[in-house]
Structure 1
């Protein structure tokens, strides 16, 4: 199947998933929310894995799984904090920087470097995050950047983007050591287990705050499993940075959903940034 279509499906599911998660976190501890979410995604992914062809594991599978699971647990913990503390339209744009960081991590870990057209597309995706806050230019050339990083949720999400630029490469290595379905289910199971120490610190209080079972988190887990299943099948078909750049179209959808569902302001000022991101995706798909 076409890698671009698979990556686009991932982007759509990511945006809707983030909307469900933010809705749930208005009532639930973010760490417990992310634990339930990752465990739910793992359960759905194991359903996909059971119906997939049997995978042959290489010796690198287990070390990669331990490392990717540990990074995944830390990342989900940070991700939940970011969504809790900031608007979708301010936190999600920070993930556009993941493809930029991949320009450093992918050559080091996989020996991959995109073609000039792909570099231009990635640059446009990152530039779109700048344009999203272009009205802050009145505070200087770096005003749009400062507008993002002065928000606590945005600062945390920038850390997520950095860690994900490493994790995406580990995913590709994990796919080579197993199979898309098995790796996706295994890494989310490992990530959920890595979150347990974070959630255990205030588990009793978190459970008391839980207003019945959070079905929004179940929906988020299902959407994540579908998106990740598509992503894992897209990664072997092209370079990691291209898949992640297209996946970052979730930022556009997230900004729109943030305005429609949570009534977040400044949609008119952020749509031009979304258009720049679309142009970047076009460069990646056509010239990358």
Structure 2
């Protein structure tokens, strides 16, 4: 992986932890994320206008990938909102981010019949996943499989599977855009705006009729605008970095550096408790991140 790709992913990870903090502190509703996506889309819409002639010429396959990606983003945001409403940031956030590390390579292998990951990469991804399993624990002797059967963990699983889904779909869509002659930045900047629009197509009916939440009024406009801007900017950096790697699994794994950032924010800012198993789990995850990035 190139130093530029690593740098983009690290900046993105910091911003990702930031907007998750805003989501946890401000609201745990799907309505909040719908407004955030909409406002973020408006802020970055000039980037789409700039590349519209190239976007309009994209083949039908791209638009189907975009529509499917919007659905996955909707499921991700919904799962995250519901999980935050029922769990702590230092448990929900790491699990939601770590689970796709194993899911994405499996999806890539099933979809393409091959993988470019080395034994070291697989070991690192395995350590990231093992570390995440310790995060819900307060004491090791209290471990029980029921700890992973709470409603919050169920929503986390939905968010994680949806993350794996949009990661693979978006990587394929970006490759189509590059094949049509678009640069990495033009492809990424256009796609984030289009994806936000596709996400809203699925999310708005779900918010109104699925979760019964009112769409009237922006929940805390300033924080919602900031979160929306962070959401779009974060993923723009990830999409650009996707064009610089041989397989999307590398990006999905390395961006999990946001996990320790999220836990630290939960402990020092939100005053959430932290236990020895959680600290040890984070240490294992960090070792896995180092192995993947080398």
Equivalent residue for 1:78?
79
Deviations 1:63-112 (A, max 9, x none): 11111112222222222111222111111122201010112101122443
* Residue of 236, 252, 260 corresponding to 2:260: 252
TM-score by length of 2: 0.85
Residue 205 of structure 1 deviates from its aligned partner by 6.2
Cα distance, 1:34–1:61 mapped onto 2, change above 3 Å = same
Is 2:117 the partner of 1:114? yes
Deviations 1:148-203 (A, max 9, x none): x2332222111211122121110001102222221221111100221011122389
Question: SS at 2:214's partner residue?
Answer: helix
The aligned counterpart of 1:47 is 46
Pairing of 1:66-215 with structure 2 (within 5 A): 66-95=67-96, 96-110=98-112, 111-133=114-136, 135-140=138-143, 143=144, 146-147=146-147, 149-178=148-177, 179-201=187-209, 206=214, 213-215=220-222
The yes-or-no answer on 1:276 pairing with 2:288 is no
Indicate the residue corresponding to 1:235 in structure 2. Answer: 242
CA distance in 1, matches of 2:212, 2:142: 45
Give the Cα separation in 2 of the matches to 1:7 and 1:212. Answer: 29
Contact 1:88 1:258 in 2 (8 A): yes
Contact 1:255 1:267 in 2 (8 A): no
Q: Which moved more, 1:156-165 or 1:48-57?
A: 48-57
Q: Answer yes or no: is the 8 Å Cα contact 1:69–1:194 preserved in 2.
A: yes
- Residues in 2 aligned to 1:211 and 1:268: alpha-carbon distance in whole angstroms: 40
Distance 1:169 1:18, change over 3 A: same
The Cα RMSD (Å) is 2.4
Structure 2: gaps spanning 5 or more residues = 178-186
Give the number of equivalent residue pairs: 278
In structure 1, list runs of 5 or more residues that go unmatched. none
Q: Where does structure 1 differ by over 6 angstroms across 4 or more consecutive aligned residues?
A: 202-205
CA contact (8 A) 1:90 1:154 kept: no
CA contact (8 A) 2:62 2:173 kept: yes
